Amino acid sequence: MEQGAATADKEDFNAHGKPTLFQLSFPLLLHSLLSFFVNLADTAIISAYSAEAAAAVAVAKQVMMIAFELSGLVGIGAVIVISRHLGRGEVEAARQVVAVALLTNTLVGLALGLSLLVAGPFVLEQLAGSTSLNDEAGLYLNIVAVGMVFNGFTAAGLACLRAFGHSRLILAFGVGVSAFYLLAEWILILGVGPLPGMGVKGAALGTFSIRVLTTAVLTPVLMRKLGLRFSFADTIARLATARRMIAIALPSVTDYIAYSFYQIILLGLAARFGVEAVLGRTYTMLAMAFLIVVVMAISQSNEVLIGYRFGERRLEAATSQALRSASLAAAATTSIATLIWLASVPYVRLFTDNPAVIELCGSLLFLTIFIQPGFAFNTILFQSLRAVGDVRWPVFVSLTVTWGLGLSTAWFFCLFLNLGVTGVWLSLIIEETIKGSLFLHRWLSRGARHEAG
C-alpha cells in the first residue's frame, strides 16, 4: 500500500513537470523585492516616531544579524537534499526531509533566542555603552529574541516550499504577511485613536506577533501543499538527515557570517573620511541591495534546478544550467546597474541635496556596474557548487580572497592611496572578479571531469 502511494506521489509530481528557471525565479524576485520595500517602509515608520528609536532598532538588528543568518542554516541544506530526492522522483523521501528540517530548525531557533537573551546585553554594551540607546535596543532585542523559535520554523518551512517549486505560493504568502506586518507596525509604533504609540516596544511587538502569525498560517499550508505528516518518533529516527543538511549548509553560513563582519570593517574604513563618505556608501549600498535581490532570486531558483539535474544524474545539463543562470544574472544586473548610474542624480536627491554626496554616489554607482559580472558568477556558481556537494572548497576560496586580498586591497586603495570610499569599491571590483573567475574555472573543471568519465 505504501509503495503504491509513493508511486502515485512520484507520478503526481512528474505530471506537473519540473519548473523552469523563470517559473521559479520570477515569483522569488517579486517576493524579494517585496521584502526590500517592506524594510524601507518599516524604517520610515520607526523613523517617524523618533530618530533615537530608529537608531535603537538599527543597533539591535545589527546584533541579531548573525542569529538571522544561522536561522537559515537547516533551510539551505533542506533545499539541496529535497531537490535531489525530487530529481529522482522520491517524493515521499522529500516529505520526510521536510519534517526533519522543521523540527531541527525550530530547535536551532530556540537555541539562538536563548543565546541572544544571554549574550545580547554584553554585545550591546560594547556597541552603545550605558546609554538610553542601549536600553531601548535591549528592549527590542529581548522581545524579538523570544520569537526566534518561530523564525526558525518559518525559515525552514519557506525553504521547503521553494524546494518543491511553490515559488508563487511563497510570493502570495509574503504579500499577505507583509500587509499585516506593516499595519501592525504602524499601529503599535505610532499609535492610532486612543491607542498610544509605543515606539521601540511597539516595533518589537509587531515583529514578534508576525512571527507567531506566520507560523500559525504556514503550518496548515505545509500540511496541505506538501502532504506533511509529522510523526515525532519517525522524525527523531531520521536525525542523520538533519546532520547531513547542517553539514551541507554550515560552510556557506560561515561564509555569510564572515562576510557580515567584513562589511563592518569596510564601513569603519569609510567612516574615517567623515559623514559624507558614510552617507555616500549608505545610499549606494541601498541601490546595490536591489541588484542583490535580482541575483539571489535567480541563484536560489538555479540551486533547485541544479538539485533536480544532479538527482537525475544529468550532469551535463546541470553544468550548462548553472552557466546559463550566471550569464543571465550578470547581464541583468549589469544592465540595471547602468540604468541606476544614469539616474544617479535624481536617485540621490531622494535623500539629500548635498553636492559632495551626490558626486560621490555617482562615482560609486559607476564603479558598481563593473562589480556586477563577477558578483553574479560568484554567487550563482558558489551555490551551484554547493548544490552538487562541493561545499568546503568554495567557502575556503571565498574567505581567502575576501580576507586575504579584498581587505588588504581595500586598505591600500582607501587609506594608503587616500582614495576613500572609492578605493573600497575598486577593491570590490577586484575581489568579485577574481572569485567569479575561480568559481567558473572550478565549475567548468567539474563538467569536464564528468564528460571524460
Tell me the pLDDT band of 17, cut-offs 50, 70 and 90.
Answer: low
- Percent helix, strand, coil in the chain, to 5, is 90, 0, 10
Please report the pLDDT score of residue 13 as a whole number. Answer: 44
pLDDT of res. 298: 86
pLDDT band with cut points at 50, 70 and 90 for residue 4: very low
- Residue 288's alpha-carbon distances to 70, 156, 281, 333, 436, in angstroms, are 23, 27, 10, 10, 18
Predicted pLDDT at 231: 66
Cell 539535474 -> residue: 309
- The answer to whether 99 touches 78, Cβ cutoff 8 Å, is no
Question: Dihedral of CA 348/353/354/359: which sign?
Answer: positive
Q: Outline where DSSP puts E strands in 161-307.
A: 191-192, 195-196
Nearest to 270 by CA among 285, 255, 257, 259: 285
* CB burial of residue 394 (10 Å; 0-12, 13-18, 19+): buried
HSE, side-chain direction, 13 A CA sphere, residue 220: 3
H-helix or E-strand containing 297? helix 275-311
Domain ranges of the chain: 19-237, 250-453
The pLDDT tens digits of the residues spanning 46-87 come to: 777 876 777 677 777 767 877 887 887 777 788 778 877 777
Residue 125's identity, in one-letter code, is E
Residue 11 pLDDT grade (very low, low, confident, very high; cuts 50, 70, 90): very low
Residue 302, C-beta contacts closer than 8 angstroms, at least 6 positions apart = 21, 25, 321, 322, 325, 380, 383, 384
The H-assigned helical ranges of 20-72 are 21-49, 51-71
pLDDT at 12: 42
pLDDT of residue 7: 42
With cut-offs at 50, 70 and 90, classify the pLDDT of residue 1: very low
Q: Which of 189, 188, 238 minimizes the C-alpha distance to 47?
A: 189
Neighbours of 320 (CB within 10 A): 13
Q: State residue 5's pLDDT score.
A: 40
Confidence of residue 2 (pLDDT cuts 50, 70, 90): very low
Residue 230 has pLDDT above 70, yes or no: no
C-alpha–C-alpha distance, residues 38 and 40, integer Å: 5
Q: What is the mean pLDDT of the chain?
A: 81
Side-chain half-sphere CA neighbours of 284 within 13 A? 27
| Best-predicted range by mean pLDDT (149-163, 203-217, 261-275, 363-377) | 363-377
- Dmax of the chain from CA atoms? 74
pLDDT at 366: 97
- Rounded Cα distance between 216 and 206, Å, is 15
Task: Name every residue whose Cβ is closer than 8 Å to that of residue 281 and which is 6 or more positions away in sequence.
Answer: 267, 270, 364, 421, 424
As a whole number of angstroms, the distance between CA 81 and CA 75 comes to 10
Residue 387 contacts residue 310 (beta carbons within 8 Å): yes
Give residue 435's pLDDT.
95
pLDDT of 142 reads: 92
CA dist 378 and 153 (Å) reads: 29
Share of the chain above pLDDT 90, in %: 27
pLDDT in tens, 366-412: 999 999 999 999 999 998 888 787 878 888 998 899 999 999 999 99
How do residues 274-326 score in pLDDT, each as one tens digit? 767 777 787 788 788 889 888 988 887 887 778 777 777 777 888 888 899 99
CB atoms within 10 A of CB 191: 15
Contacts of 229 (CB under 8 A, 6+ apart): 95, 99, 223
Q: What is the pLDDT of residues 102-156, one digit of tens each?
A: 888 888 899 999 998 998 888 777 655 556 667 888 899 999 999 999 999 998 8
How many other C-beta atoms can be found within 10 angstroms of the C-beta atom of residue 40?
12
pLDDT digits (tens, 9 = 90+) for 326-339: 999 999 999 999 99
What type of residue sits at position 117?
L
Residues 6+ apart with CB under 8 A from 173: 158, 217, 218, 221
Region of residue 197 (left: phi > 0; alpha: psi -120 to 50; beta: else):
beta
Name, in order, each residue with C-beta under 8 angstroms of 211's C-beta and a sequence gap of 6 or more.
147, 150, 151, 154
Decide which of 38 and 130 is more confident: 38
Task: Evaluate if residue 360 carries a pLDDT over 90.
Answer: yes
Q: What is the pLDDT of residue 23?
A: 67
**Does residue 169 register a pLDDT over 60?**
yes
- Which band of pLDDT confidence, cut at 50, 70 and 90, is reported for residue 212? very high
Report the alpha-carbon distance of residue 59 to residue 64 in Å, rounded.
Answer: 9
pLDDT tens per residue, range 215-229? 999 988 888 888 777
Q: Are 63 and 120 in contact (CB under 8 A)?
A: yes
Question: Percent of the chain having pLDDT more than 70?
Answer: 86
pLDDT the model gives residue 255: 72
